[in-house]
A and B are shown apart, each in its own frame.
Chain A
Amino acid sequence: MTMESGPTPAERKQWEEDGYLVFEGAIRGEMLARLQKAFDHWAAACKEDWLVGVARGELAATYYDIPNVLEKDEVFLDILDRPRYFEYVRAFTEDDMIFIGEQVRTAPLWPMGYTGWHPDVRPDHPLHIKVQVYVNDVERGGGEFAYVPGSHRPGAGPYPRVKNLEAMPGYRRFPGRAGTAVMFNTYGWHVAMENHTGIPRKSIILTYEKRTPGKIDPERYAHLSPSLNTPDRRRLFGMT
């Protein structure tokens, strides 16, 4: 991976003004097939535990996250630093980022979206970037990611608390093929749209952040150490 594959001036402008970028085919071919296979395998393997967590009132039934995937299959580590989007994370964080976590998520069909429009963090939080990778094809109206361009900027808003997700002014929705990645600044307002397609949405949400001292306990990922076999990965996990 090289810095040359990072953002063009136009992409940097879009990132700064709109707060998002889309990477079609960010994961493709053999790696996408590996990812889909691992996703489906572990989704099936862990489902019973999820249902127990739902019955115990500990987990929501409206989305299903496979837990601790980084320990389960190396493909989940391999997607963390895919150059197609990782070079952009690197550029926007001035090559000083940490990995916060992953959500390997399937959203079952439900009469509405499982969340409303929201930002994740306040603008005084260190730059916080998410990359949402579609694991299956996600049509318009299929639970796709949506974002209000420019809502990440200081002074943007206020934004209304709309009951109908489609009533949010100025939003943009992002359907995409499997392997598409949408990167966004989480200061901005975003949501998963309602799914009327009959097909549960599968995606992986990777969260990165501008490094701040002490944010990551180096012991947290110590058990992954043998697999963190590049300087980038060791840095992402706070080991250097």
Chain B
Amino acid sequence: MPRMPRIDAHGHVFAKVTREFPREASGNTPPEREETVEKLMSYMAASDVDQAMLVQIGGTSVAQHAYLLHCLRSYPDRFLGIGLIPEAAYGAPEEHMDRLTDGTGIVGFRLGMVGGPPDPFDPVDVRTFTTYPIWRHAAKKDLVLWLYVRAADAHLIAWLVDAFPQVRVVINHLGICPGLGKGRTDQWGRPQIDIVPYNPAFHTTHRLSTYENVTMKLSGHYAFSKEPYPYPDLAGWQKNFLGTFGADRLMWATDFPWIYEEPGYDKLAKLVEENTPEIKPHEHEAIMGGTAKRFLRFPDLK
């Protein structure tokens, strides 16, 4: 019986800015920087990681997805992709979503907002939410939604998850929803998000374990932890997730390339067993790939 593939469920690759691969530049993605899929594959091979989810970075337009699409075409059995949607298209996203998912290997879209009433005491009608057309189309086309939303919207996710039980939802990075003004970049060029220890996520995104169509990604520790690898201050979160979501709805990820230098891809490949030493072998296998294989429908390796 073949072993379960090990799947890194979240990271980014990008090319230098060229006519072939246009993209937006930012502080940690300057035009001359490249983090190629081949470089990623060398790290994956060294840690016995078979497959990975490539999450679009560098712009929302179809043209700016060129490098992601190139990678998916080049290695169709190794990678799947998550795309982005321009905010201007949120009202009528169907054409954009269809163009990017039509046989390309892109299986869903990442959202940074939900777009409902900001006051939790206001009446809720999900049909008025900014991203409702995206959820509706994801339901129609069986697409995945990849959520890393702003803190103000954290409580709104549940309304849409409740309304669309058929949509597969992946909550990013331990369920943290970044607060306004809390982001910065550290000395290694990694995103850093200041969070409070008794985190609002306990009462918003973490509660989504109630819904069978929601999975949680164990990633991003480096951005939130106040301690170095293996981030012991977040180990309790992981243990709680095992009890609430269960291993069959948890996915390990590294958030490459930000972690290549510190703490290193190889270390992150051991993070789950480092900070949850009591984990059972079948749980570890699920978190390290089984859940991603099933929930995200990764292809069989050739």
Contact = CB atoms under 8 A, between A and B. Distances in A.
A67 to B, nearest CB: 14
Contacts of B154: 60-61
For the complex of A and B, the 9 pairs showing the least CB-CB separation, nearest first, are A57-B179, A57-B151, A61-B155, A60-B200, A60-B203, A108-B120, A56-B179, A55-B152, A111-B162
A210 B165 CA distance: 46
B164 to A, nearest CB: 12
A200 B120 CA distance: 10
B244 to A, nearest CB: 6
Interface residues of A, number: 26
Contacts of A163: 209-210, 244
A99 interface: no
13 contacts: A56-B180, A57-B177, A57-B179, A57-B199, A58-B200, A60-B202, A61-B120, A62-B204, A63-B203, A64-B120, A108-B120, A114-B207, A164-B210
Contact of B159 (A106, A111, A116): A111
Given A60-B155, A62-B120, A108-B121, A114 B210 contact: no
Interface of A: 51, 54-64, 106, 108-116, 161, 163-164, 200
Interface in B185-205: 193, 195-196, 199-200, 202-204
Contacts of B209: 163
Contact of B179 (A55, A106, A164): A55
A54 B182 CA distance: 12
Given A57-B200, A114-B207, 11 more contacts: A51-B118, A55-B151, A55-B180, A57-B179, A57-B196, A60-B154, A60-B203, A62-B204, A108-B121, A112-B162, A116-B207
Contacts of A57: 151, 176-180, 182, 193, 195-196, 199-200
A44 to B, nearest CB: 11
Contacts of A51: 118-119
Contacts of B181: 56
Contact of B207 (A55, A58, A113): A113
A54 B207 contact: no
A56 B150 CA distance: 9
Interface of B: 118-121, 124, 150-152, 154-155, 158-159, 161-162, 176-182, 193, 195-196, 199-200, 202-204, 207, 209-210, 243-244
Contacts of B193: 57
Given A56-B180, A57-B182, A112 B151 contact: no
A61 B207 contact: no
Nearest to B246: A161
A110 B180 contact: no
A60 to B, nearest CB: 4
A113 B208 CA distance: 10
A112 B155 contact: no
Contacts of B243: 161
A116 B176 CA distance: 18
B189 to A, nearest CB: 22
A161 B206 CA distance: 13
A60 B206 CA distance: 12
A56 B120 CA distance: 15
B158 A61 contact: no
Contacts of B120: 54, 61-62, 64, 108, 110
A64 B199 CA distance: 14
- Which among B159, B196, B202, B207 has the greatest number of chain A C-beta atoms within 10 A? B207
Nearest to B209: A163
Contact of A58 (B158, B196, B244): B196
A70 to B, nearest CB: 20
A92 B154 CA distance: 40
Contacts of B177: 57
Contacts of B119: 51
Contacts of A112: 158, 162, 207, 210
